[in-house]
Amino acid sequence: MRQLPPPENDNSRKRKALLLIFGKASGITGLAFLLSFLISSPFAATISALFSSTEKSDFVMSDLFYQIADNRPVRTFDDRMVILDIGNSNRQEIAELLSVVSLCGPKAVAIDVNFELPGENDSLLLESLSSLPSLVLPLGVREEGERFVIADKPFFYDDLKDVNYGVINFPTDHPGATVREYAKAFPMKEGGRLLSFPEAAAKAGGYKVDLHEKSSGVPTGIIGYHSREIITIPYDELIDRAEELTDKIVLVGTTTEAGDVYSIPLRRGVSGLEIHAYSLSTILDGVELERMPGYIATIVAVVVCFLMVLGAIAIKSGMKGLVLRVAQIVTLYLLVRVGYSLFVDHDIVSDFSQAILMIAFGLFSVDLWNGTASLIDWIKKRITLYKEKRLELKRI
């Protein structure tokens, strides 16, 4: 005798329903991830709509953390270095300035000015350079394969002895992009490694610097721009403020050269010299900002997306839309809040942009899934109806 299956009790039904929902949510989350690889979305628009941020085309989440941190009413005054702004001084004037600098007892002098071609009466310049303690001069490099060759150097490169050189190139995602990192050392084609300009300045100032011999490629560090105060002395105030250079690393250059301005996470129009100063300050701190491993951000993205999708399919009440939108804003706030705390309290640079992206894609995928399921149901019903009609007609 055929036995009827035992009636399902409530618990069993609930468990089944729960499993169904979880299964559906997992499937939709997977779809959302797939879509995120196929369609790019300007997630930055979402975050910058909710949080005040300067409008930049290559905005990343950590830029917001820099801006929030820099807005705090406490900054660290960096008395280990000083910028000497030479403005539009010509070569003769620079030579005179440097001769004054040598009398001020600096610890090291790093000059971010390239004297590419010889000029008239360079003897004063060369004499001034020779009198400077622990001098660092800039070099520009060009990539050739996986290594680099010197592209820009001073005319006296092979002649002046006891000079340290530092590479002034910035590592960026593309030309004109925001400068967020400093290079540590460049592997040279002829062998060996050349330190970057800020690393060379730190070394010249007597600070311990890793030569990164064992690293591959160009190792980089994240620049800690936020909450720093670096003194800049205009060249016409040098004599009155000479004592401020004593025992410091002096960075010499101009902050107003039109062709040497870049964007940093805090603002646009920052000179290369100032970026070197921020990098040097970060190096001298000895505490590196670490990037959060990518897989953690991915896990957070999966969890956040899953929860959002679960809410979208499990909540049946009419308030579903309101609940989801509030959840979206709250999640966005929490991601920024947690990311910011990691940044200021633990020196960890996180990027939850994928999680933000996944919230948008998750909800999009819910609509896509439900819509597709409804479409398939409708097609099935149409086919069934059509088959039934045909059967009826045959009978007739």
Partner 1 sequence: MQRLLIILLLAFGINTAMAHYSLFTVVGDVKVESAGKTVKAAKGQTVKATDYIIIPQGGKVEVLNDLDKRVYTSIKPGKISVTKLMIEARGVAADNGANVASRMNLGRKSQKGTEKVYVEKGMVRRSLATYDPEGDQMEMNAETLGRYVASRISAGTLSSGEEAPVPVESKRLAEGGLGFKMENNLQFPIYFNIIKIRKGSKDDVNISPLGQPAGSYVVLPQQTLSREHFPALDEDEEQILIMTNCQYDVDKVIEEIVKALNDPDLSSSNDSSLPVYIHKI
377 in helix, strand or coil?
helix
Name the residue type at position 184. Answer: K
Rounded Cα distance between 356 and 46, Å, is: 8
Of 13 and 346, nearer to partner 1 (C-beta) is: 346
Closest contact distance (angstroms) between CB of 77 and partner 1 is 5
CB of 198 to partner 1, least distance (A): 20
Q: Which is nearer to partner 1, 132 or 280 (CB)?
A: 280
The helix or strand, by DSSP H or E, that contains position 143, with its residue range, turns out to be strand 135-144
> Where does this chain touch partner 1 (CB under 8 A) — which range of 63-71, 190-198, 272-280, 387-395?
63-71
Binding part of the chain for partner 1, among 142-150, 160-168, 189-197, 337-345 by CB under 8 A, reads 337-345
For partner 1, which residue of 12, 52, 372, 384 counts as binding (CB under 8 A)? Answer: 52
- Between CA 65 and CA 16 the distance in angstroms is 44
CB neighbours of 298 closer than 8 A, spacing ≥ 6? Answer: 354
For the segment 76-105, give every residue that binds partner 1 (CB under 8 A).
76-79, 88
243 binds partner 1 per the rule CB under 8 A: no
CB of 184 to partner 1, least distance (A): 25
Q: Does 234 bind partner 1 (CB under 8 A)?
A: no
Q: How far apart are CA 368 and CA 374, in angstroms?
A: 10
Q: Name the residue type at position 99.
A: S
Does residue 269 interact with partner 1 by CB under 8 A? yes
Q: Considering only CA atoms, which of 307, 226, 328 is closest in space to residue 336?
A: 328
Q: How far is CA 125 from CA 8, 74, 91, 221, 232, in A?
A: 94, 40, 7, 34, 22
Q: How far is the CB of 268 from partner 1 (least distance, A)?
A: 8
Q: Which own/partner contact pairs does 260-264 have at CB distance under 8 Å and 24+ positions apart? A: 262/170, 262/178, 262/179, 263/56, 263/176, 263/177, 263/178, 263/179, 264/178, 264/179, 264/180, 264/223, 264/225
DSSP reduced 3-state for 271: strand
* Minimum distance from residue 209 beta carbon to partner 1 (Å): 22
Kindly indicate which of the ranges 38-46, 120-128, 205-213, 267-275 contains the residues binding partner 1, using the contact rule CB under 8 A: 267-275
Minimal distance, residue 202 CB to partner 1, in Å: 18
Among 21, 50, 177, 266, binds partner 1 (CB under 8 A): 50
Check if the beta carbon of residue 197 is closer than 8 Å to that of residue 112.
Answer: yes
State how far the Cα of 304 lies from the Cα of 352, in Å rounded to an integer.
10
Region binding partner 1 by CB under 8 A among candidate stretches 72-80, 306-314, 315-323, 371-379: 72-80
- Under the binding rule (CB under 8 A), the answer on residue 229 touching partner 1 is yes
Closest to partner 1 by CB, 337 vs 389, is 337
341 counts as binding partner 1 under rule CB under 8 A: yes
Task: Kindly indicate which of the ranges 15-23, 120-128, 150-158, 336-344 contains the residues binding partner 1, using the contact rule CB under 8 A.
Answer: 336-344
Residue with tokens 């729960």: 18
Site for partner 1 in 163-202 (CB under 8 A): none
Bridge partners for 252 per DSSP:
84, 111
Contacting positions for partner 1 (CB under 8 A): 49-53, 64, 67-69, 71-79, 88, 229, 258, 267-269, 333, 336-337, 340-341, 344-345
